[in-house]
A and B are shown apart, each in its own frame.
Chain A
Amino acid sequence: MIKTFTDSLLDSYQRYPDKNIIYLMKSGFLDQKISYRDLIKGSANYTAELNRKGIKPGEVVILVLQHGIELINAYFGCILHGAIPSIMPFLTEKLIPERYRNDLTSLIKITKPSAIITYSDFNFEIQSAISDKSSVREVILVEKINLCDDFPTFRGAFRDEKDIVLLQHSSGTTGLQKGVALSHRAVFNQLESYQKAIRLQSNDVIVSWLPLYHDMGLIACFLMPILLRIPLVIMSPFEWVRAPYKLFTSISLYHGTLCWLPNFAYNFCADKIRDHQIDNINLSSLRAVINCSEPVRWESHQKFIARFEKYGLNLKALAACYAMAENVFAVTQSGIDSLLKIDEIDREDFQQLKKANQTSKSNATIKMVSNGRPIENTQIKIISEKGDFLPERQVGQIVIKSNCMLTEYYNRMDETISSMLDGWFKTGDLGYIADGELYVSGRIKDMIIVGGKNIYPQDIEFIVMKVEGVLSGRVVAFGLYNEKQGTEEVVVVAEVDVESINDKEKISETIMREVAQNSAISLRNTYIVKPKWLIKTSSGKIARGANRDKYLKEIDEAK
């Protein structure tokens, strides 16, 4: 009986050693074919090294590696050993190393890893983030991994199905301090339900450019295909963002059938790919392109289909999914083998009464895209601010209950407890249910989603507060939706005590630069204001929503 990831991997290895499971793309190289034999052999080298260094099953190992064969082997090397892998996003060239070190330090502090796996070139960065008292006993360098002829004992096979198998984090200081811990059983339960929801079959081919530190990339486009023996074509997000056309040439070449994308990627691909880059491609093999991890926009879908229809993309392939790491991945799914349902609702009722009423033609409307029905063994409800269940078509917080929930926020009992309400997990997202289907409309929590990536405004505000000239504690950051790009962008409002336009511009430039170099995002706008401009709540906190409204009003009036 298969109870652990290790059981599943070894079963595939024994039964289908020569089956190619991963096609790894790398610019300037031929695609690398990886069979189950290659995967287990490559990963076993890491397992042996972890064993040799005295890393125990159940201990956390952080992987600081770029997307590529080392990351894949190190990940499964940890799994086969029974250690708990956690991927830390790699340092980008614009990020200040010092900032990266701070993020790494905060990840280490909460997660208490016993080892970190990285490149020799990166050892210095890692060492400087580790203090004497840190939990980290070993830094393992991929270049020094020995090749072993015989397999070590795979202690991962002795784990219990309820044991934690992996951790997932979102980016930034705040996100890194809140790791979602998932058990073997939770992941298997999710895959069991989700494969039915998407009618997964052995002739499917998944094509992905998604980062592996994110649930959509890690679960849907990495662990699911590898554990369920569905071929996976994978490229690094770093390469895709520079050459988005390669996603489509790969789908055509490998007859890809399934692809997951965050909403912004629909706009990005439609806008930034030239015809000559995708001459003669055929996208008719795609049976589902699944929009997930940002609010789904009808306009983005229209743009995408208009651009790629002539290459054989079927309108029926457009699908949507509501997912979160806390439920392993999917909560609901829609549009598999059928057209996505669109709910056209009255704009005024929606904004003022928080009701999603279908309407007479004369009023202004919003086209909402359905995220579908819950997958098996997952329930959804909508609750009011007081915590009461709401009827259909009333907007409130989405709460979920399932057989694939997180075990906990790792070493954060406080966060784990506060996220639950009478056995329901509070998602922090807003939405409504109509005819049993879920429509997601916004968020209660202040989190901003930029290009599918979760950004915590407090991380951005913290960076801006350190800029010289900005008044202490007088900063707010929030997200604004950009229709052209199909995603949110971050705006910062900062109070300063200078008068001249020149000085203000200088501060604004510094803020833009500091945020770019200290976080994973670039600001859309920095709005410099006089002292006492910002609105605070009665408890003295900066009210993000109220300040966002004030900003929008002023910008509108200035037009």
Chain B
Amino acid sequence: MKNDEIIVKLSKKIAEEILSQPNREILSDEPLITSGLIDSFHLVDLALIVEDEFGVRIEDTELNSNCFNTISQLANLIIGRLNK
């Protein structure tokens, strides 16, 4: 799967399932965690989306802005694991 495809899919899923705003466009470099766009109660949803859509596990210790803060960074993390 290509980086772009992952970004599009993540953006759509986050808008629909986490923000409940299906029309909201999330830019690939928009801060997700430090901006509070995804609050702490929804970080676990993000991990579940990644697991369901890409079969990749994100550990709870990785659910913070030091590991990723944008969709693009998250996509890189996913690709790194898909290629392993």
Contacts and interface: CB of A to CB of B under 8 A. Distances in A.
Interface string B40-75: 110111011001000000011101110000000000
B43 A242 contact: yes
A27 B36 contact: no
B26 to A, nearest CB: 12
Interface stretch (A53-61, A252-260, A343-351, A513-521): A513-521
A77 interface: no
A92 interface: yes
Interface residues of B, number: 20
Contact of B60 (A94, A239, A516, A522): A239
B39 A268 contact: no
Contacts of A516: 35-37, 39
B34 A241 contact: no
Nearest to A521: B39
Main SS class of interface, A: loop
A435 interface: no
Given A27-B61, A274-B48, A94 B34 contact: yes
A241 B48 contact: no
B33 interface: yes
A32 to B, nearest CB: 17
A93 B61 contact: no
Contacts of B65: 93
A94 B44 contact: no
A272 B33 contact: no
Which of B34, B43, B44 has most A Cβ within 10 Å?
B44
Given A241-B41, A241-B43, A93 B33 contact: yes
B43 to A, nearest CB: 6
Interface string B8-33: 00000000000000000000000001
A490 to B, nearest CB: 11
Given A241-B43, A272-B44, A274-B48, A93 B64 contact: yes
Given A94-B34, A242-B61, A516-B35, 4 more contacts: A28-B61, A94-B39, A242-B44, A243-B60
23 contacts: A92-B40, A93-B33, A93-B65, A94-B33, A94-B35, A94-B36, A238-B40, A239-B60, A241-B40, A241-B41, A241-B43, A242-B43, A242-B47, A242-B60, A242-B63, A243-B60, A272-B44, A272-B45, A272-B48, A513-B36, A515-B36, A522-B36, A522-B39
